Structure 1
Amino acid sequence: METRTVFCNDIALRILDFGGVGDTVILLHGAMSRAANWFDVACWMKDHFHVLAFDQRGHGRSGKPVGGYSRDDFVRDLVGVMDSLNIRRAHLLGHSLGGLNAWVAASMHPERVESVTIEDMGADQWPAETVDQWRSWFDEWPLPFPCLKEARRYFSSIRPSFADHFMELLEERDSGYWPIFSFDTVLDVLRGIAAKPWWNELRDIRCPTLLIRGEHSEILKRDEALAMHRALKNGHLAEISAAHHVIHDDQPERFKEVVLDFLLQTAPRDRAVAR
């Protein structure tokens, strides 16, 4: 794996190049997360494709500007990364926030996107109180965590499936363990998501699109997923049993099966490596 930094739109963006050959797949993480969250996915995907991920603005080791978290900002960053690395077209796979950014990018720049995979993200406008609810939850975090054991106990008490995901988002400082992200930045990101419904952008997608829903997801309800599938011009829908919001962590083998089947059918055979 190679790590590099590119500068575009006045910020530094940290990129993880996992290697591989064939078509490029760009992995876009969710809110609060980072590119490294895709490590396990990239390990099997690079057997078939060239795989990249990057810390999106406000996340991980990339720049965290004050403001500038609209969909246009995220899409400009994605296109800037592609331009910096001389990538003409790519498959986009995004979780949650990353899924939304992927489908908006496909609607705005159809000439740059081969396919879109959306992991557990809806198109409905969020209720007005959503961001305030997130702020209240952040205020409850008993920071700093004195040790990783206490952090795991806290996140597991909310929901066991949360623990592994959030444990990856902590870093050790002199006073204890803190999140690698800024709460204020994440709230700005969430306001950008909640600003409007995203159905028009979804309907504008021309390329093959896979929507994946976790059976127990509280973010993407089944009725909304079915409506999104109907709205897509070339859409595919998969619901993965016994999974919540972070499907690639909850059910990694089933996630691999569904995604790989879609991508190998979508990518021209001479550009994907069948193994």
Structure 2
Amino acid sequence: MEIEGAYGTRLHVTEFGGTGPGILLLHGLTDHAGTWASTASWLTAYGRVVAYDARGHGTSERPDGPYTRDAYVGDAAAVIERLGLGPALVIGHSMGGLTAWQLAGRRPDLVRGIVVGDMSPVTPVDAVRGWRDWLASWPVPFASLDEVRAHFGADRPALGEVFAEVMRHDPDGWRPRAHTEHVLATVEHWAARDHRPELALVTCPALVVAGGRSDNPVPGQREAADLLPYATFALLPESGHVLHREDPAGWRAAVEPFAAVLCGRDGGRARLTSGGGSA
């Protein structure tokens, strides 16, 4: 399915199934909607689960721009409104987590709760340079998907699969679907910023989940949970950055009870924390 997002950008939407409250899944930078398949397999018990390829990603349109925060937040709002998902539980990983809390702060009418997966509220001043250098180090084109898996998943096989899923086959080999200039334009609009003041604008329940082996500092993510007015914090100590793929069992254990309460399908067995805090 395709819908029109912000600024007329065509977005590819994946319906995972389920009925009831809307649940919107937002992937991270360079990723795609399909990364949520395993999460969606159990989330459909709690509502209608939808994901989409962000602008410039997957099979969505790759416009020259904009790749601003307004564009990404506008796309999420458009999906919720056009598909009648609101108020939705919005679950975001990395860049998707940033979009989730910004959407909740700007459009509280569209959001019933958020899950922020491994995203720091204070972003590095050298993020653009870091991403540019890292992308330049990729030995593209890859000769095969096995080479992709070996390059990205030598120590963490789950990451090899994640990156294999976002490659396209060109005549000379395999290349990432997301264009480098679009990735860097995206990072430019969140790098070297202190997003902590945005967290106080979120009035819905929130869950912050961090990876103990992620490059994103855990203390900063704990602070995010403390700054969100109605939030809890969960740590997956053995996971890296891509929580839902590196530690799917831990991710489910953290997120499923929150989703059950938010979507009214916990049988009254649990209650959300009122006020910032940790768990």
Please report the TM-score for the alignment, with normalisation by the length of structure 1: 0.92
Structure 1 residue 112: deviation in Å?
1.0
Structure 1 residue 164: deviation in Å?
2.0
**Selected match of 2:75 from 70, 77, 83:** 77
Partner in structure 1 of residue 43 of structure 2:
45
**2:106 corresponds to 1:108:** yes
Q: 1:76 and 1:216, CA in 2 relative to 1: closer, same or farther beyond 3 A?
A: same
1:37-88 Cα shifts (integer Å, max 9, x gaps): 1111111111221100001111111111212111111111111112211233
**Selected match of 2:164 from 151, 164, 167:** 167
Structure 1 residue 125: deviation in Å?
3.0
AA matched with 1:143: V
* Aligned positions of 1:7-26 closer than 5 A: 7-8=4-5, 9-26=7-24
Q: Structure 2 CA distance, aligned partners of 1:20 and 1:60?
A: 23
Partner in structure 1 of residue 123 of structure 2:
125
Partner in structure 1 of residue 240 of structure 2:
244
Number of residue-to-residue matches in the alignment: 267
Partner in structure 1 of residue 31 of structure 2:
33
Gaps of 5+ in 1: none
Q: 1:56 and 1:271, CA in 2 relative to 1: closer, same or farther beyond 3 A?
A: farther
Structure 1 residue 195: deviation in Å?
5.1
Q: Structure 2 CA distance, aligned partners of 1:139 and 1:85?
A: 38
1:187-232 Cα shifts (integer Å, max 9, x gaps): 111111215221111111000000000111112x121122112111
Partner in structure 1 of residue 194 of structure 2:
197
Structure 1 residue 106: deviation in Å?
0.1
1:16-49 Cα shifts (integer Å, max 9, x gaps): 0111012110000000001111111111111221
**Selected match of 2:131 from 105, 129, 134:** 134
1:142-198 Cα shifts (integer Å, max 9, x gaps): 111111222222223475553222111112222111111101111111111215221
Partner in structure 1 of residue 256 of structure 2:
260
**Selected match of 1:211 from 208, 211, 230:** 208
Partner in structure 2 of residue 188 of structure 1:
185
For residue 193 of structure 1, give the secondary structure of its aligned residue in structure 2: coil
Q: Structure 1 CA distance, aligned partners of 2:106 and 2:267?
A: 24
Contact 1:28/1:54, CA 8 A, preserved across alignment: yes
Q: Structure 2 CA distance, aligned partners of 1:32 and 1:271?
A: 38
Contact 1:22/1:271, CA 8 A, preserved across alignment: no
Q: Structure 2 CA distance, aligned partners of 1:234 and 1:101?
A: 18
**2:52 corresponds to 1:54:** yes
1:111-155 Cα shifts (integer Å, max 9, x gaps): 11000000000101322x221121112112111111122222222
For residue 172 of structure 1, give the secondary structure of its aligned residue in structure 2: strand
Q: Structure 2 CA distance, aligned partners of 1:92 and 1:16?
A: 15
AA matched with 1:55: D
Q: Structure 2 CA distance, aligned partners of 1:120 and 1:57?
A: 21
Contact 2:257/2:266, CA 8 A, preserved across alignment: no
Q: Structure 2 CA distance, aligned partners of 1:207 and 1:239?
A: 21
Q: 1:87 and 1:259, CA in 2 relative to 1: closer, same or farther beyond 3 A?
A: same
Identity percentage of aligned residues:
31
Contact 2:46/2:263, CA 8 A, preserved across alignment: no
Please report the TM-score for the alignment, with normalisation by the length of structure 2: 0.91
In terms of mean alpha carbon deviation, does 221-230 or 241-250 score higher? 221-230
Alignment RMSD, CA only? 1.8
For residue 205 of structure 1, give the secondary structure of its aligned residue in structure 2: coil
Partner in structure 1 of residue 220 of structure 2:
224
For residue 146 of structure 1, give the secondary structure of its aligned residue in structure 2: coil
